[in-house]
């Protein structure tokens, strides 16, 4: 990661990725400091669906461009692009299109398959830290109301056994047997290797473990700009003064381009907004045994201890947290379509977050070639929780000069 092994790593951002990186470094005795502009898990990591779904494919898939074009300008479809002149987004969409091929999907899955297995192992090992984040194993279902949706899902699932995953296909009756709350559906696919948790609690409790292992954590302290000496990054100027470090790791999610501004790395990152609505368990709120993605609507339903979380939708509308009410409404509408006897009360909470998305659907993890002393770990799109621990382990191995378990060339931040 650096020409000589760094003694002190400064991580900017205390979301899932920053805290996982800090954890695997601190646990191995490395000096690590985390600065976070807001609170722990303030952004995308706070309210996501909580699904740990190894073997999940990237957003780029053959046929996705046409599908996206059909959906794009309707604010009620799963994917929405707010119409406005935005050259960076136009370039992003153009590049995204180039990666919607069989060859790219194969290359991405060859990498994501093993990373997912390793992350699942690491989540199991994290039980030792007693994270109290409602971590549960038991898989998730993808359910479909249409035969066409089910057919596509089965075709996608057929690719997974080669990567060591064992999806199971169910017809409508078998699906309702497993999840009696479901209404009229065509069937579903079960992904047994998946698990779930409360993502905010995961970050908060793992952050406490970072401190237990000797890491330093500063919340409500924004990193305003990188400290640079020629091309080398030597630390970060924060609200509370300059912090020097041998290595600065940007784990700043969708906000990463801000701090990269003065550098020579142009990471084509776009924020993809998503929403959640939580409903307290009670009459009229579907009771689920395991998480479930409502296939055609791309809405994820996750049973958490006191509530059901509905999360999803993908919206490209710039670097802001403006809430579109109709998109929140889509979440509840999907629940009414797929489940029986749904009478939803007022939501217990509503939330918006931004996934950091790169146009090839893969994260960027590693050193920034043009700037010694600088590295990034971002771009996890829909997979930040799923790939959090394995990203943390990879970064720790890179920093400490230990062997990497996978060929990480495809994650190189300099690849664009």
Ligand X SMILES: Cc1cc2nc3c(=O)[nH]c(=O)nc-3n(C[C@H](O)[C@H](O)[C@H](O)COP(=O)(O)OP(=O)(O)OC[C@H]3O[C@@H](n4cnc5c(N)ncnc54)[C@H](O)[C@@H]3O)c2cc1C
Residues of this chain that interact with ligand X (CB under 6 A) are: 12-18, 35-38, 42-45, 48-51, 222-223, 251-255, 259, 274-276, 300, 311-312, 353, 355-356, 378, 380-386
Enumerate residues 6+ apart whose C-beta is below 8 A from 313.
Answer: 78, 79, 80, 273, 274, 275, 298, 299, 327, 330, 331
Between 319 and 416, name the residue whose CB sits nearer to ligand X.
Answer: 319
Between 176 and 300, name the residue whose CB sits nearer to ligand X.
Answer: 300
Tokens found for residue 39: 């609170």
Q: How far is the CB of 73 from ligand X (least distance, A)?
A: 21
Q: Across the strands, what pairs with 88?
A: none
Between 238 and 397, name the residue whose CB sits nearer to ligand X.
Answer: 238
Between 27 and 380, name the residue whose CB sits nearer to ligand X.
Answer: 380
**CA separation for the pair 22, 29 (Å, rounded):** 11
Between 274 and 413, name the residue whose CB sits nearer to ligand X.
Answer: 274
Q: How far is the CB of 171 from ligand X (least distance, A)?
A: 26
Q: How far is the CB of 38 from ligand X (least distance, A)?
A: 4
Q: How far is the CB of 324 from ligand X (least distance, A)?
A: 13
Tell me the backbone φ, ψ of residue 193, rounded to 5 degrees: -80, -5
Cα–Cα nearest to 156, from 73, 66, 53: 53
DSSP 62: T
Q: How far is the CB of 273 from ligand X (least distance, A)?
A: 7
Q: How far is the CB of 202 from ligand X (least distance, A)?
A: 10
Between 17 and 100, name the residue whose CB sits nearer to ligand X.
Answer: 17
CA 272 to chain centre: 11
**CA separation for the pair 43, 39 (Å, rounded):** 9
Cα–Cα nearest to 82, from 334, 253, 271: 271
How many Cβ atoms are within 10 Å of 39's Cβ, its own excluded?
A: 14
């Amino acid at each position: 990661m650096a020409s000589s092994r760094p003694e002190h790593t400064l991580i900017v951002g205390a979301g899932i990725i920053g805290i996982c990186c800090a954890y695997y470094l601190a646990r191995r005795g490395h000096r690590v400091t985390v600065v976070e502009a807001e609170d722990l898990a303030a952004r995308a990591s706070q309210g996501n669906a909580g699904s740990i779904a190894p073997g999940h494919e990237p957003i780029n898939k053959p046929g996705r461009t046409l599908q996206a074009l059909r959906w794009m300008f309707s604010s009620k479809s799963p994917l929405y692009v707010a119409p406005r002149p935005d050259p960076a987004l136009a370039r992003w969409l153009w590049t995204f299109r180039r990666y919607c091929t069989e060859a790219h999907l194969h290359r991405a899955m060859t990498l994501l398959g093993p990373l997912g297995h390793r992350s699942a192992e690491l989540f199991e090992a994290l039980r030792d830290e007693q994270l109290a984040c409602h971590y549960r194993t038991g898989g998730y279902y993808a359910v479909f109301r249409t035969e066409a949706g089910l057919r596509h899902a089965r075709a996608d699932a057929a690719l997974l056994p080669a990567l060591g995953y064992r999806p199971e296909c169910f017809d409508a009756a078998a699906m309702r047997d497993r999840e009696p709350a479901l209404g009229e559906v065509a069937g579903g696919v079960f992904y047994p290797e998946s698990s779930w948790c409360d993502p905010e609690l995961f970050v908060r409790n793992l952050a406490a473990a970072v401190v237990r292992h000797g890491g330093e954590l500063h919340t409500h302290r924004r990193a305003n700009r990188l400290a640079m000496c020629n091309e080398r990054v030597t630390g970060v100027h924060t609200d509370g003064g300059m912090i020097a470090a041998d290595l600065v790791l940007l784990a700043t999610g969708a906000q990463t381009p801000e701090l990269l501004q003065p550098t020579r790395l142009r990471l084509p990152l776009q924020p993809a907004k998503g929403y959640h609505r939580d409903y307290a368990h009670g009459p009229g709120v579907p009771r689920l045994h395991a998480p479930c993605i409502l296939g055609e609507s791309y809405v994820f339903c996750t049973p958490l201890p006191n509530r059901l979380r509905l999360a999803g939708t993908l919206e490209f509308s710039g670097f802001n947290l403006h809430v579109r009410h109709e998109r929140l409404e889509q979440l509840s509408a999907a629940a009414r379509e797929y489940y029986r006897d749904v009478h939803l009360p007022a939501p217990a909470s509503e939330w918006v977050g931004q996934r950091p998305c790169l146009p090839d659907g893969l994260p960027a993890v590693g050193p920034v070639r043009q700037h010694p002393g600088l590295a990034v770990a971002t771009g996890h799109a829909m997979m930040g929780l799923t790939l959090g621990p394995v990203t943390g382990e990879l970064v720790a191995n890179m920093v400490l000069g230990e062997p990497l378990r996978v060929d990480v060339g495809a994650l190189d931040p300099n690849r664009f």
